[in-house]
Every structure is written in structure tokens, then in C-alpha cells.
């Protein structure tokens, strides 16, 4: 099969950046996304025609770009966003996937979902209103989900006469709040989504601002170091055993590299069994590889004929993840029936399912004030809190702060099969 190495140097070799946005109707988020999509020519004439037609029919006196992302009938009828919507646009340098969450309905659930895969989270502030409750919630959830890059766009600068002082006061207040969060990279950009200032082009109205435009920042922010390249982790997804006569002796372990770098000749330990062996080859349909790094889907061949199956984790002999049944996690609860001690849930972590019982709800966290309510005792829909779980079998995991892939899990209702919670694992209790 052809190799992707042979692809043209143009867009084919561009990088992918996923970013999350959230906000309410009036903070200009739809206008901003609409402008990015329009300027990047990711909105098509038939889509704009449809939006204009519906806006007119509803009696709006402007073209409501929110209709571009609000695809469901109920959303258009009620003028609200119900669910995370995914939008796509590209520049020659990068391809972008926007996970756009609604501002109010199911706010926490959707923000957590959108941010779980994001490289960058974009928070919008109205320059006239400054930091509000919602800004703090956005920023906290982005930090809870360990989104590596946070961008605070101070929007509607045109309505405050492009005043530097207004922008800087907002930045100071936010930076103060951000000291309570785990934010690795924080960027402030003054914009006017409506006028286009600092969205795609640098603004002539804000000569005092020396930073990049939003699009320039999105195109250039350094994301290559965001993943964990230190701790090799590989969760076995599927054992490849061809049935054809010529390949009957072939046995490989398919999966995705979740951390670190694997090379042929590396010694690896299989967890939870603890047996050690050597990587004899890294295979793909395009041929063998000299090394495999995070998010690559590959097949590893091992020297010894060990009992390795789906759910097992490969790591290096002197760099082990935690193996244990007692789990501590920050949990965002996403379903009506509350999470209470004694409840059983199904847990999916890397490539395995286990059952777990909720042992204790230590506290519920107010996502706006960061206050811990230790008397809560349960987590309701859209609550975030710290929880102890005991699993029926050991999980092989890292703290979420160390690795978003090996430190995350979902909690699934055993009654309804719906995804009821998002878990971010902490170190062992």
C-alpha cells in the first residue's frame, strides 16, 4: 500500500488542532466562529443561503450564524444549542476541529465532553462585562480536563473604544483567578468578532496590542510537546492472528501508543501480569517502523509467547503505571440519577471494562467559586466532585495530570447503558 510519507508537502502534512469553545448567545461566540469559518472558506454558499432563509423566516434582522452550528430542528426552533457540535476548517498550516458547546443547557456535561479531546480551549469575555461567573466556569473546566492551552479572547473591544486599560484590567483579574487553576499556557487576545479585529488579521484599531491575531495563534501554538513522550504506554486493543496458511505463525498486538516512544529491541513489561519481554517489531500495513509515538495505531510483536490480551498495558521495566483496584478520581456526573455511595457502575478505562462500586463522595466542587462542599454526599447531574471507587479488577493507570489517555475513564450506568460520568484519576489513595 502507498505510504503517507509520499504525500504532497502542502495540506497533507499539516497538523491537526482540536479546540473547544463554549459560551452563551450574547457573548459573540457564534459570530466569532462564523467569521473564522467564513474567512477560512469553510462555510459554503448553500449553507449561508439556508441560514439566511431561516433567519428571515424567523424575523431576525441579522443573519444568525449560530444556525450554522445548530443543526437540529429543536435547536433552530427554540434558538438554543442543545449539544456539542463539531465544525471543521483548514488553513494551509493546520486543520482545525472545533467542538462547540452550548452556554447554558447541560453546560458542564457538554463543556467537559468538548474539552476532553481539545488541545486548546477558547474562552470568550465581553469587554463591557469583564470576568463573569461563566468565564470562571469555562476556565476551571478547561483546567480540570487539562487542556494544555487556554486562550482568553476579550471580545467586543469596539464597544469599549479599543481601550487598552479595559483589556489589561480584564487580563489582570483573570490571571489572578488562573493562579488557582492548573493552566500551562495562557494567552490573552483583544478582539472584535463583529468587526474582525485581531480575528484573522491584526487590528489597526489596537496598535498597542503586539501579540498575534487569534487565527495566527491557533495556527502557531506549539502542540507537539503536549502529549506525554516520557512514559511509554501501550494498551492492547486486539490480538492479530491471521488465519491464512502463509501467516499462521504471526501474532501481533494491535493498539495505540498512549505515551512515550516504542522501538524494536525495547524491553517491555506486560501489566498486570508483570512479565517482561522484548519488542521484536513494530508493524503497520505500510511496513515496519523504527519507532512509534503517541496516538499512532500500530501492531507490536513480542519476543516471547506470553499470555497477552486486550486490556493489558505494555510499559518499560523501570517506568510502571499504577496497578490497583482502589481508585481516586475527580468525576463529572452527567445523568439524572445521582451518584451515591454503594452504587455500582461499569467503568471503561483504556481498552477494558470493569465494574466498580462507589465508596465515598469526598466533596462536591462549586465550579464557579472552587468551594468544596464536604457534606454533599452525592453528585447530581452536572456536578463535579472527588470520589473513591473500588473496582472488581485492577486497573493499570497513570494520574490524569500525567497522561490524559491512561488517566481518564468513563462511568457507565449498568441499568441504562448510558455514559453517566467522566472520571479523571488521581494518584493512588
Q: With binding defined as CB under 8 A, does residue 232 bind other proteins?
A: yes
Q: How far is the CB of 185 from other proteins (least distance, A)?
A: 15
Q: With binding defined as CB under 8 A, does residue 305 bind other proteins?
A: no
Q: How far is the CB of 102 from other proteins (least distance, A)?
A: 11
| Cα 264–Cα 266–Cα 269 angle in degrees, nearest 5 | 130
Residue 32 or 154 with smaller CB distance to other proteins: 32
Among 175, 230, 340, 374, binds other proteins (CB under 8 A): 230
Among 58, 128, 247, 371, binds other proteins (CB under 8 A): 247
Report CA dihedral (245, 250, 253, 257) to the nearest 10 degrees: -110
Among 214, 334, 361, 367, binds other proteins (CB under 8 A): 334
Q: With binding defined as CB under 8 A, does residue 245 bind other proteins?
A: no
Q: With binding defined as CB under 8 A, does residue 276 bind other proteins?
A: no
DSSP 8-state class, residue 21: E
Residue 50 or 340 with smaller CB distance to other proteins: 50
| Cα 339–Cα 341–Cα 342 angle in degrees, nearest 5 | 110
Residues 356-385 that bind other proteins (CB under 8 A): none
β-sheet bridge partners, residue 353: 348
Among 165, 204, 225, 342, binds other proteins (CB under 8 A): 225
How many residues touch other proteins under the rule CB under 8 A: the total is 94
162 sits in the region (left: phi over 0; alpha: psi -120 to 50; else beta) called: left
Q: With binding defined as CB under 8 A, does residue 45 bind other proteins?
A: yes
Q: How far apart are CA 39 and CA 98, in angstroms?
A: 15
Residue 156 or 233 with smaller CB distance to other proteins: 233
CA-to-CA dists, residue 330 to 50, 355, 401, 410, angstroms: 42, 18, 11, 11
Q: Which of 372, 373, 382, 388 is nearest to 340 (CA)?
A: 388
Q: How far is the CB of 39 from other proteins (least distance, A)?
A: 14
Q: With binding defined as CB under 8 A, does residue 179 bind other proteins?
A: no
Among 113, 143, 155, 203, binds other proteins (CB under 8 A): 113
Q: How buried is 51 (Cβ within 10 angstroms: 0-12 exposed, 13-18 middle, 19+ buried)?
A: buried
Q: How far is the CB of 300 from other proteins (least distance, A)?
A: 13
Q: With binding defined as CB under 8 A, does residue 2 bind other proteins?
A: yes
| Cα 249–Cα 253–Cα 257 angle in degrees, nearest 5 | 150
Among 52, 60, 83, 163, binds other proteins (CB under 8 A): 83
Q: How buried is 303 (Cβ within 10 angstroms: 0-12 exposed, 13-18 middle, 19+ buried)?
A: middle
Residue 23 or 294 with smaller CB distance to other proteins: 294
Q: With binding defined as CB under 8 A, does residue 205 bind other proteins?
A: no
Q: Is residue 307 a contact partner of residue 224, using CB atoms and an 8 Å limit?
A: no
Q: How far is the CB of 362 from other proteins (least distance, A)?
A: 22
Among 87, 156, 217, 386, binds other proteins (CB under 8 A): 87
Q: Is residue 32 a contact partner of residue 193, using CB atoms and an 8 Å limit?
A: yes
Among 54, 181, 186, 306, binds other proteins (CB under 8 A): 54
Query: Which of 163-199 are b and which e, b meaning 16 or more Cβ less than 10 Å from the residue's Cβ?
Result: eeebbeebbeebeebbeebebeebbbbbbbbbbbbbb
Q: With binding defined as CB under 8 A, does residue 422 bind other proteins?
A: yes
Q: With binding defined as CB under 8 A, does residue 401 bind other proteins?
A: no
Q: With binding defined as CB under 8 A, does residue 419 bind other proteins?
A: yes
Q: How far apart are CA 70 and CA 148, in angstroms?
A: 27
Q: How far is the CB of 7 from other proteins (least distance, A)?
A: 4
Residue 104 or 241 with smaller CB distance to other proteins: 241
Q: Is residue 324 a contact partner of residue 313, using CB atoms and an 8 Å limit?
A: no
Amino acid at each position: 500500500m502507498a505510504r503517507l510519507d509520499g504525500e504532497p508537502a502542502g495540506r497533507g502534512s499539516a497538523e491537526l488542532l482540536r479546540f473547544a469553545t463554549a459560551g452563551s448567545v450574547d457573548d459573540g461566540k457564534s459570530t466569532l466562529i462564523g467569521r473564522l469559518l467564513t474567512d477560512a472558506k469553510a462555510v459554503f454558499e448553500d449553507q449561508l443561503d439556508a441560514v439566511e432563509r431561516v433567519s428571515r423566516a424567523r424575523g431576525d434582522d441579522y443573519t444568525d450564524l449560530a444556525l450554522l452550528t445548530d443543526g437540529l430542528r429543536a435547536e433552530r426552533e427554540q434558538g438554543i444549542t442543545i449539544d456539542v457540535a463539531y465544525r471543521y476548517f483548514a488553513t494551509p498550516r493546520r486543520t482545525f476541529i472545533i467542538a462547540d458547546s452550548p452556554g447554558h443547557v447541560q453546560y458542564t456535561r457538554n463543556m467537559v465532553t468538548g474539552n476532553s479531546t481539545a488541545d486548546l480551549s477558547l474562552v470568550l469575555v465581553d469587554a463591557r462585562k469583564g470576568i463573569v461567573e461563566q468565564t470562571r466556569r469555562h476556565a476551571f473546566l478547561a483546567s480540570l480536563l487539562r487542556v494544555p492551552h487556554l486562550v482568553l479572547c476579550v471580545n467586543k473591544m469596539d464597544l469599549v473604544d479599543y481601550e487598552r486599560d479595559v483589556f489589561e484590567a480584564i487580563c489582570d483579574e483573570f490571571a489572578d483567578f488562573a493562579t488557582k487553576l492548573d493552566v500551562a499556557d495562557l494567552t490573552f487576545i483583544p478582539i472584535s468578532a463583529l468587526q474582525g479585529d485581531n480575528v484573522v488579521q491584526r487590528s489597526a484599531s489596537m496598535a498597542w496590542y503586539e501579540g498575534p491575531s487569534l487565527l495566527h495563534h491557533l495556527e502557531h501554538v506549539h502542540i507537539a510537546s503536549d502529549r506525554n513522550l516520557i512514559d511509554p504506554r501501550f494498551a492492547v486493543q486486539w490480538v492479530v492472528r491471521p488465519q491464512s496458511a502463509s501467516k499462521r505463525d504471526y501474532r501481533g498486538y494491535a493498539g495505540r501508543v498512549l505515551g512515550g516512544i516504542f522501538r524494536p529491541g525495547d524491553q517491555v513489561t506486560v501489566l498486570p501480569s508483570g512479565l517482561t519481554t522484548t519488542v521484536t517489531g513494530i508493524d503497520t500495513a505500510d511496513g515496519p517502523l523504527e519507532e512509534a509515538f503517541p496516538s499512532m495505531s500500530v501492531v507490536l510483536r513480542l519476543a516471547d509467547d506470553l499470555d497477552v490480551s486486550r486490556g493489558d498495558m505494555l510499559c518499560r521495566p523501570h517506568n510502571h503505571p499504577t496497578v490497583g483496584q482502589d481508585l481516586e478520581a475527580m468525576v463529572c456526573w452527567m445523568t439524572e440519577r445521582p451518584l451515591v455511595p454503594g452504587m455500582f457502575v461499569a467503568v471503561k478505562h483504556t481498552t477494558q471494562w470493569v465494574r466498580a462500586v462507589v465508596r465515598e463522595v469526598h466533596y462536591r466542587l462549586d465550579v464557579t467559586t472552587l468551594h468544596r462542599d464536604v457534606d454533599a454526599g452525592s453528585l447530581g447531574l452536572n456536578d463535579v466532585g472527588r470520589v473513591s471507587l473500588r473496582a472488581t479488577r485492577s486497573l493499570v493507570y497513570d494520574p490524569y495530570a500525567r497522561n490524559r489517555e491512561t488517566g481518564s475513564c468513563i462511568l457507565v450506568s449498568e441499568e441504562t447503558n448510558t455514559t453517566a460520568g467522566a472520571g479523571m484519576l488521581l494518584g493512588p489513595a
